[in-house]
Amino acid sequence: MTHDTIIVLDYGSQTAQLIARRVREAGVYSEIFPWDTPKEQLLALEPKGFILSGSPFSVYEPGAPTLRRHVLDSGLPVLGICYGMQLLAHTLGGKVAASQAREYGPASLIIDGNMPFWAGLPSTLDVWMSHGDRIEAPPPDFVPLAHSDNSPVAAIGNPERKIYGIQFHPEVSHTPRGTDILANFAVRICGCKPDWTPGKVIDEIVAQVREQVGSERVLLGLSGGVDSSVVAALLHRAIGDQLVSVFIDHGLLRQGEAKQVIDTFKRSMGLNLVPVNATEEFLEALEGITDPEDKRKCVGEQFIRTFEREARKLGEIAYLGQGTIYPDVIESAAPDRPNAQRIKSHHNVGGLPIDMQFDLVEPLRYLFKDEVRRVGEALGLPEELVWRQPFPGPGLAVRCLGEVTWERLERLRAADAILLEELRTAGMLRGETSQAFAVLLPVRSVGVMGDGRTYGETVALRAVVTDDFMTADWARLPADLLARVSARIVNEVANVSRVVYDITSKPPATIEWE
């Protein structure tokens, strides 16, 4: 590694990932580890500093996570955020007190003293507080650096030892200058070079992949989604024709999607791409299935079977490329986080075939989603691919309620294409909506067109706004846009006589209908 690294120690905060993302936005590489990660593992990264995250615990609670000696013994700069600050104060002999009232929400921070930690920042800052305990007195040799109405000591520091603590959360968007504060710590205090840029990320990943795979071949299941597309472009840059990509068209893609993937990767980028049209097999397997979970399982199994068959035709391949991204890695390493209840079985294209032996190549393993997109852009992938909204692995099978037939899929594709086209024209496909699509319902209703009676199916439009897809609100699309989409669908798509708009948030509904 040729970049400087800041380690975030996760004490169970909801926003530990955000801390690392903000540090990276400041151009400095950052990784997250559970607070009790062994010393050797942390120091192997040759970090330039540590950030201690917040926590749901109070430092006085039995079983509260502690500050391991090796963090301070390393002599490296440390920044404690919220619980992290209280932990520093508690460990170093300051006074932490349980506050009567929990302080939660916006606060005005008044900076005391002028030092590199606050460089470039105004003397009063809007910050976000969320804490119960607070610092009554800083440890010996520490000075108070800021206060707010409710926190007489809202920041502390020992500039000589380069140890700092802040009571507020610089990582959340409610602290508008938060990234500058984290940048000050990483760059001015820790001395990191802010050179973690997409170009550098690409160079490092390319070098790592070349070293890992040597002259072996790598197999990749390309779905056309953001992650697998960026993996394809990166691996192609690294190893050229040693990458063999298989693109399975299961007939459940949106209008024009299969062609776009083949045009982009095979024609423009010259990838060694094997397109497989498996539509008939998938539709045959789905025949008569209407239960949502059964559909998901059917598509998943069929996918693996097809992928295995195509892979066998390609002969012995040592490696399998995967689009694992950093949040997946952190989730699987995180302590004390019971697995959330499975609401729907998720199927991801490119999933590991059951009885084949591969070593994995995971070039996006250390990247957050926004970094994946920026790397994709830097690699020259088309904008509509890089900024594509998420699309479920089982594809239109879970948006075509009732039985999945070719005729109904075509109806759904036509309606969906109209919605997307109108949103794109209105500039609402990127940002204004996080995900927008049409759903075909097996519900027929009476309509009138010209002098005739119609009795066609129903199209439901779904558009949501969300940051994380765990919760979502329905998008308040302009009424005239909805009117245009509705009129066009009923006029242009045969056998649809009604269009409705889904106004349910998540929870209680999910984003997809199945």
User: Smallest distance from the beta carbon of 256 to ligand XMP, in angstroms?
Assistant: 19
Among 14, 123, 277, 510, binds ligand XMP (CB under 6 A): 510
Q: Strands, DSSP E only, in 167-231?
A: 218-221
Output helix, strand, coil percentages for the chain, rounded to the nearest 5: 35, 25, 40
Cβ(194)–Cβ(183) under 8 Å?
A: yes
Annotated catalytic residue 192: no
Name which of 146 and 463 has its Cβ closer to ligand XMP.
Answer: 463
Name which of 77 and 393 has its Cβ closer to ligand XMP.
Answer: 393
Among 147, 344, 365, 369, binds ligand XMP (CB under 6 A): 344
Residue 124 in the binding site for ligand XMP (CB under 6 A): no
Name which of 181 and 511 has its Cβ closer to ligand XMP.
Answer: 511
The window from 94-102, 129-137, 346-354, 362-370 that contacts ligand XMP (CB under 6 A) reads 346-354
Residue 347 in the binding site for ligand XMP (CB under 6 A): yes
Residue 395 in the binding site for ligand XMP (CB under 6 A): no
Residue 49 in the binding site for ligand XMP (CB under 6 A): no
Annotated catalytic residue 400: no
Quote the Cα angle for 341-345-351, to 5°. 125
Cβ(54)–Cβ(84) under 8 Å?
A: yes
Write down the catalytic residue from 31, 82, 103, 131: 82
User: Smallest distance from the beta carbon of 348 to ligand XMP, in angstroms?
Assistant: 5
Name which of 193 and 344 has its Cβ closer to ligand XMP.
Answer: 344
User: Smallest distance from the beta carbon of 462 to ligand XMP, in angstroms?
Assistant: 10
Please state the separation of Cα 211 from the chain's center in Å. 27
Annotated catalytic residue 169: yes
- Which residues within the stretch 443-502 sit at the binding site for ligand XMP (CB under 6 A)? 469
Residue 392 in the binding site for ligand XMP (CB under 6 A): yes
Name which of 189 and 397 has its Cβ closer to ligand XMP.
Answer: 397
> Could you write out the DSSP letters of every residue in 125-183?
EEEEEEES-EEEEPPTT-EEEEE-SS-S--EEEETTTTEEEESS-TTSTTSTTHHHHHH
User: Measured between alpha carbons, how far is 4 from 191 in angstroms, rounded to an integer?
Assistant: 9
Residue 47 in the binding site for ligand XMP (CB under 6 A): no
Nearest C-alpha neighbor of 495 from the set 440, 443, 457, 447: 457
User: Smallest distance from the beta carbon of 468 to ligand XMP, in angstroms?
Assistant: 9
- Distances, alpha carbon 453 to alpha carbons 327, 440, 448, 456, in Å: 52, 20, 5, 10
User: Measured between alpha carbons, how far is 343 from 345 in angstroms, rounded to an integer?
Assistant: 7
Residue 435 in the binding site for ligand XMP (CB under 6 A): yes
Q: How many CB atoms lie within 10 A of CB 296?
A: 21
Token pair of 219 as six digits: 């197999």
Element (H, E) at 298: helix 292-313
User: Smallest distance from the beta carbon of 336 to ligand XMP, in angstroms?
Assistant: 24
User: Smallest distance from the beta carbon of 241 to ligand XMP, in angstroms?
Assistant: 28
User: Measured between alpha carbons, how far is 279 from 164 in angstroms, rounded to an integer?
Assistant: 59
Write down the catalytic residue from 169, 236, 250, 347: 169
Residue 157 in the binding site for ligand XMP (CB under 6 A): no
Name which of 122 and 431 has its Cβ closer to ligand XMP.
Answer: 431
Cβ(281)–Cβ(254) under 8 Å?
A: no
The window from 93-101, 198-206, 276-284, 387-395 that contacts ligand XMP (CB under 6 A) reads 387-395
Nearest C-alpha neighbor of 79 from the set 156, 188, 207, 165: 165
User: Measured between alpha carbons, how far is 494 from 415 in angstroms, rounded to an integer?
Assistant: 10
Residue 410 in the binding site for ligand XMP (CB under 6 A): no
The window from 5-13, 97-105, 189-197, 340-348 that contacts ligand XMP (CB under 6 A) reads 340-348
Residue 390 in the binding site for ligand XMP (CB under 6 A): yes
User: Measured between alpha carbons, how far is 298 from 97 in angstroms, rounded to an integer?
Assistant: 57
Active site residues: 82, 169, 171
- Residues lying near ligand XMP in the complex (CB under 6 A) are found at 343-344, 346-348, 390, 392-394, 435, 469, 506, 510-512
